[in-house]
Structure 1
Amino acid sequence: MLVRTNWKAALRPVVAFAFYTLAALILFQPWLVQFGSVLIGSPENNLQDFWNVWHAAHTGLGDFFHTDALRFPGGTSLLFHSFSYPHVAAVAGLAQWLGNDRETLIVLNNAALLASFPLAGLSAFYLVRRFVPHDWAALIGGFLFAFSPWHVAQLGHHAHVTHIEFVPLFVLAYLNAVDRKSTRWLIVAAVSGALAALSCWYYLFYGLYFVLFHTAYVRWHDKQRLAGWQIRAPLLTVAGMGLLVSPLIVPMLLSSGGVEHPGGTDAFVADVEAFVAFPPSHVFAAWSAPFWTRLQTWTSNNTFEGAAYLGLVNIAVMALLWRRRKTDRLANYVFWAMAVFAVLAMGDCIHAFGYDTLIPIPGIVPNHLPFFSQVRTPGRAMVIVYLFLSVGVAYGLALLAEKWRTKPWGKAALAGVVVLIVADFAPVHFDFTDARCPQGLAVIAADREAGFGVLNLPIETAGDVAMFQQTCHGKPVVVAAISRQIRPPLTDTLDRRNLAVQRAQLIAAHVKYLVVDERADWEPDRNPPKYALRRWAVRTFPALAKVKGIGLPPYKAPIPKSAYETRFPVLYRDGGLTVLKVQ
């Protein structure tokens, strides 16, 4: 009997990992057929993420946190940049064996991104199983966490946010450490929390918030007096995480005073309607398209940072737990955890039906504290909401199984519910980015002169594209999408209205080529709808025009694209881009 039990325990992670791997291969099959020629998702930060692995595969550790290849001519610090350190380390490490050419890096980058799904599923499986000791229910719970619409949305945009596999492991290890008074589990919690933070710095803060939440829950709900291990465990866990990431955190803290804060704590949030609105990847996405259009029109939010769909079937299963919340500690704990992190995900103010109500909520407090305000995308707190949704739904399914086990139709009904849950989270719409190098960049790549830079236009939207194109031509670029700005780049001093003055500045800075994105919107909207409330407030109360966050940003008309193409010789032109020479 002992041998059989050990074999079952040994095979459990193998079976679970195989289940989630098979699910990923089936669900993401449209990406797999083009694995070596596309980047996952539409052109956005995924272009920057590919530059990250290209940089890691071609740069030594001594130069890793500073580069002269971006923000030419001064270069830039990468200390605050959005690296997913486990991701770039895995890709760069494999590239040493398999090759660091672009085609190999594309495959490795895509594979590392998709690997986050079975890894996250396995990690969540064990967390769910801690609360719900049924393998089948834990498999479903792990699936909900790993394949949530939020995770699928982030997959196509942010590598660092996509790697959520260490988050469930941290929560599991911390809870075990507290309950069992285990030093070993505390060490596992500190290490997994540090790995989660190295994947995405947001997860360092969410780990801290979870420790605070659990400690407060034990004190106020369970009426336990905090003493001894109940105090040492959270302090030691946080201290351990901080110690492990201190080689990066300390320099960041020392530099944070000069870091530009780009905002976003009241923009990239979870809208109330987003909890039930079908995401763009859903089979019924068309039904919710008007909501996502409003969201993008009236706020600065988007479909991936605003992803928060909980699943209609999941909500129905959670209704079963809602009735038990007063007598069932697990049900109560799950709802409190989801509620706390849902409020954090909603940002500074309530957003509803695509609009900003300007009604403040508790999330406004941490979002405006020193250093904590760098967590500028509150919607990412949904990772913890989905984690406890997976526990709640698995628990609800186990209760239904017990309730229906004597019914002749019980097994069939339960199987039907499970099928609906899985189908509701199965993505069916996929975006791709052509990862091949544009033909026109060959002109720049062939230039053997040293010490010149390339400026991508329009400046306002070219950061990610410029970084991606640098992996093709290999020359320093002026514009780059660096997560935090420590010192002003050349683009801050360029004259944006007088082309003659700008030309002189470019020549003085040794900028030799201009690459014009022909598909980009060149001139911004003079009166964007998202500023309608601000315009009304300023008209009604003129004094508000000087208040930060209320006053309207001044409109600056850019130099027309035609002026560049008239003034500088055209070296290459097609429907996608134009290459000009500065002279």
Structure 2
Amino acid sequence: MKPLRWRELLLSLLFYAVLFVLFSWPLAAHFSTAYLGRPGNDANQYVWNAYNFHRQVLAGHNPFFTDLLLYPRGTSLVMHTYTPVIGLLNVPLGHEILAVNVALLLSFTLSGVGAYRLCRRWVDNPVLCLLAGVLFAFSGYKLAHLPDHYHLLLTAPAPFYIYAFLEAFRFREGRFVPQVRRWGQVALCAALGIITLLSDYYTLFGLLYFSLGYALYYALRLGSINWRRPRPWIVLVVVLVGCHIGSRMLKLAGVPDNSGFWWGGDLAGYLLPPPHSRWLSTTATERLLNSSRFNSPGSVENIMFLGYVLPLLALFTLVGLRGYSTLRRDEDRGGRALPGLALLFFMLTLPAVRVFGKEVLRLPTGLLHYVPFFNNIRCPTRHVAYLSLLLPIVVFAALDPWLRARLRPAARLGVSVGLLGLVLLELQPKEQPLLKLADVPAAYLAAAQLPGDVLFPVPFGLLDGYRKVGQMDGDDLFYQTRHHKKLPGAYISRVPAEVFASFDQDSVMHTLLTLQEHPDTTLQRPSAAAVREFLRVYHPAAFIVAPQFRGSAVHRYLREAMPAQGYREEQIGEYVLLRRQ
């Protein structure tokens, strides 16, 4: 294997940067004034994350706490999907939209470069390595989450960690604890682990599973198993049946799995093209994805699409190219365990093998969903990110020497470029949706000019992924970065039960929420004293009523109760603004 030159890495970086521009278009045309997402969706929280982190750091406060949400109580952000790595980037930039877009650009391009570099460890063909980077950085799974879940896209540390891990340690058959070869690489593993911790806990758990799985591969001598004998197959069947029965018994005993099996993958999710696919998605495939054959019809969590070229090449490799793989030829490069680890991540996505909702077999990896702490990873389909990293390397490590043995250089180049072109067509998305600064309603910009620290939007509420009270519009997080006023509600992870209960303890809050959610309910109106106490606690600068709530029961109540407290109503566009006079 020839040493990798910096020029080669820079060219690959440029290639992936251009590909990001094309696959995220029209983001590049609005790079500092818009971000990827749809109205009301999760993308808003990442802009808010960067905004709050920067605001807290500049004020000299703890960036893992905020009083912008759940005012006046405030809330910790330790268990929130907070993406501190984007917040750190926003400290020097001071521009939350730009920080988010720069972070995505860096993550996609560096994910590709890292996968390219890792693949080059065993594969001489640079075009195939370039393709490995495409399959990891721009996988169907990541592009499906692109307008929604930015934390799942921050995968750049993963391939660099794996490369450093293989350089840092030497494993021996029958031993779990490795020998340290290079302490500098151990330190690099630790640094990349910290960056991953500040990026996404799903990617972090993937690194943990990779490291433990790699060590167990050698400790259990899995590479020495002779699959031509019947005994290994008998043991495999016993393990599979035993784990299936054990998992079913745990379910019957009522042991909580934190909805891990509910969110588990379906084999159809590997085969059906995602709705964002420009060339492969059809009305029929979208109808299937939105059908009741999936536990969560239409959910992006069902998508594990790897394309069709890679699975077909994997099947070809499994059937005819096992003797060509370079992963086993040089033990010092540490590739022996990669096929087994690719299988491990495939199994992690499927705690139970299902086909269009029909459960066939519960796999041993499903037992993790009954283990406290580990069962917080309750969307197992997200492990497909590591499958899209490891499987191309396994396949190309066999395909590359097979092509060299049969084709001249020009023909090999043609085949490799052809495969790259096919995969790019498979993965090419439709034009991406954008949320723009220009879309912020004028009512929120008007509220920004009002004296006071608090804004009450209608609807409002609290949502933490497990429970909810009222309605929290995700767009309010984005709007807050423009009006800078504190909100009584929140869309945030892991909120204590008493916080939810507190929403019902104030009579005015109870009335607003009840009329908002159940407009036909007959309620005894809070007294004037209760309204004054409510205003003393929250002292809102204004109430903003969204268009769909204009004239509703909650709007009529505000119109009745607030003028006596010094608020007057005005219409700004399609919104209603009740401001203190």
Q: Which TM-score bucket, shorter chain as reference? A: 0.7 to 0.9
1:177–1:185 contact (8 Å) kept in structure 2: yes
Q: Is residue 552 of structure 2 the alignment partner of residue 562 of structure 1?
A: yes
Q: Helix, strand or coil: the match of 2:348? A: helix
Aligned to 1:552: none
Quote how far apart the aligned CAs of 1:282 are. 0.9
Q: CA RMSD in A?
A: 3.3
Matched, 1:207 2:235: no
CA contact under 8 A between 1:279 and 1:303: conserved in structure 2?
Answer: no
Offset at 1:413? 4.0
* Structure 2 counterpart of 1:150: 141
Asked if residue 488 in structure 1 is aligned to residue 499 in structure 2, the reply is yes
Structure 1 residues 403, 319: closer, same or farther in 2, change over 3 A?
farther
SS in 1 for 2:302: coil
Q: Describe the superposition over 1:420-447 as per-residue Cα deviations: whole angstroms up to 9, x where unpaired.
A: 1222122234222233321111343232
Instruction: State the 1:325 CA deviation.
Output: 7.6
1:58 paired to 2:61: no
Q: Indicate the residue corresponding to 1:318 in structure 2.
A: 314
Percent pairwise identity: 22
1:130 aligns to what?
121
Flag the 1:334–1:290 CA change in 2: closer, same or farther, 3 A: farther
Looking at structure 1, the residues matched to 16 and 504 of structure 2 have their Cα atoms a distance apart, in angstroms, of 47
- Rounded to whole Å, the distance in 1 between the matches of 2:428 and 2:395 is 16
Inter-CA distance 166–370: structure 2 relative to 1 (3 Å threshold)? same
The alignment partner of 1:382 has SS state of helix
Can you list the C-alpha shifts for 1:166-212, whole angstroms capped at 9, x where unaligned? 01111111122223722222222222122112211222222211112
Deviates more, 1:500-509 or 1:434-443: 500-509
Aligned to 1:510: 538
Instruction: Give the match's secondary structure for 1:370.
Output: coil
Alignment partners' CA distance in 2, 1:169 and 1:492: 49
| Distance change in 2, residues 1:582/1:373 (3 Å) | farther
Q: Is residue 457–residue 514 contact of structure 1 (8 Å, CA) maintained in 2?
A: no
Would the aligned equivalents of 2:127 and 2:416 in 1 still touch at CA under 8 Å?
A: no
Deviation at 1:301, TM superposition (A): 6.1
Shift, 1:118, TM fit: 0.8
1:300-342 per-residue CA deviation (whole Å, 9 max, x = no partner) reads 4654333210110111111122125865584984443222212
Whether the 8 Å CA contact 1:173–1:185 is kept in 2: the answer is: yes
- 2:267 aligned with 1:288, yes or no? no
Alpha-carbon distance in structure 2 between the residues aligned to 1:275 and 1:313: 12
Show structure 1 runs of 5+ residues with no match.
96-103, 225-260, 523-559
Contact 2:290 2:297 in 1 (8 A): no
Task: Give the alignment partner of residue 569 of structure 2, picking from 548, 565, 571.
Answer: 571
Aligned to 1:22: 18
**Structure-2 change in CA distance of 1:407 and 1:169 (3 Å):** closer
- Return the alpha-carbon distance in structure 1 between the equivalents of residues 318 and 525 of structure 2: 66
Alignment partner, residue 192 of structure 2: 192
Measure the CA separation in 1 of the matches of 2:35 and 2:213: 38
Q: Distance in 2 between matches of 1:518 and 1:298?
A: 34
- TM-score normalised over the length of structure 2: 0.76
Contact 1:514 1:582 in 2 (8 A): no
Tell me how many residue pairs correspond in the alignment. Answer: 491
SS at match of 2:435: strand
The alignment partner of 1:316 has SS state of helix
Question: SS at the partner of 2:491?
Answer: coil
Structure 1 residue 457: Cα displacement: 0.9
Greater CA drift, 129-138 or 329-338: 329-338
Q: Give the secondary structure class of the aligned counterpart of 1:120.
A: helix
Q: Which amino acid aligns with 2:146?
A: L
Q: In 1, Cα distance between the equivalents of 2:430 and 2:405?
A: 33
Q: Secondary structure at the match of 1:454?
A: strand
1: distance between equivalents of 2:87 and 2:257? 25
Residue number in structure 2 paired with 1:449: 452
Given that 1:140 and 1:394 are in contact with CA atoms closer than 8 Å, whether structure 2 keeps it comes out as no
Contact 2:349 / 2:381 at 8 angstroms: preserved in 1? yes
| Structure 1 CA distance for aligned equivalents of residues 546 and 216 of structure 2 | 52
**Rounded Cα–Cα distance in structure 2 between residues aligned with 1:390 and 1:575:** 52
SS at match of 1:42: coil
Closer/same/farther in 2, CA of residues 291 and 516 from structure 1, 3 Å limit: farther
Report if the CA contact (8 A) 1:66-1:76 is conserved.
Answer: yes
State how 1:249-398 maps to structure 2 within 5 Å: 263-283=258-278, 284-286=280-282, 287-294=284-291, 299-300=295-296, 302-323=298-319, 328=325, 330=327, 333-347=337-351, 349-353=352-356, 355=357, 357=359, 360-398=362-400
Query: Higher Cα Rg: structure 1 or 2?
Result: 2
2:474 counterpart (458, 464, 473):
464
Aligned partner of 1:475 in structure 2 is 485
> In 1, Cα distance between the equivalents of 2:110 and 2:525?
54
Aligned match of 2:229: none
d(CA) in 2 for partners of 1:377 and 1:508?
42
| Shift in Å, 1:356 | 6.6
Taking the aligned partners of 1:410 and 1:12, their CA distance within structure 2 comes to 19
**What is aligned with 1:430?**
432
Q: Deviations over 1:517-567 (max 9, x none)?
A: 446xx9xxxxxxxxxxxxxxxxxxxxxxxxxxxxxxxxxxxxx97111222
The answer on whether the counterparts of 1:456 and 1:479 sit within 8 Å (CA) in structure 2 is no
The equivalent residue for 1:32 is 28
Using the alignment, how far apart are the partners of 1:399 and 1:577 within structure 2?
A: 65
Matched residue, 2:175: none
TM-score computed with the length of structure 1 as normaliser: 0.75
Partners of 1:574 and 1:266 in 2: how far apart? Answer: 47
State the distance in 2 between where 1:207 and 1:51 align: 27
C-alpha distance 29-453 of structure 1, shift in aligned 2 (>3 A): closer
> 1:48: how far off?
0.7
Q: What is the distance in 1 between the residues matched to 2:374 and 2:441?
A: 40
Q: How far, CA to CA, are the matches of 1:159 and 1:28 in structure 2? A: 13
Cα shift at 1:121: 0.7
1:166-177 paired onto structure 2 within 5 Å: 166-177=157-168
